Copies of this chain bind each other. A is one copy, B any other.
Amino acid sequence: MDDYSENLDLLFGALSDPTRRGILSRLCQGPASVGELKEPFLMALPNLLKHIRLLENSGLIETQKYGRMRICSLKPDALIPTEKWLEEQHRLMEGRLDRMEAYIETLKTTKAKENPDEQT
């Protein structure tokens, strides 16, 4: 469950742009050509292509040429690593949030007195 690490950069990075999230949402309704995907956006085609390439590179979509058009489609399992990471965060967080005030109190009262070996 740590094999995804490298890919998480690309996945979360791909999701960090509204154009790309829009493309993904649209592809949920089925595959679409580059031109179709461009429709809702004002930007020029080459820019949209760059987003598509980035999505492809992240593994979130795949594309295929049919004649002169390129059809893009979702790779539905591609989001799983991101969901796993988020779940893991929740697991780690479990029941540990209430330690916050206690921790800060500890910092203010005990300071370094009892940890003489803690440096750097």
Contact = CB atoms under 8 A, between A and B. Distances in A.
A40 interface: no
A119 B94 CA distance: 53
A34 interface: no
A100 B30 contact: yes
Interface residues of A, number: 43
Number of copies: 2
A19 B42 CA distance: 34
Nearest to A32: B103
A71 B15 contact: no
A76 to B, nearest CB: 6
A43 to B, nearest CB: 15
Contact of A93 (B76, B104, B107): B76
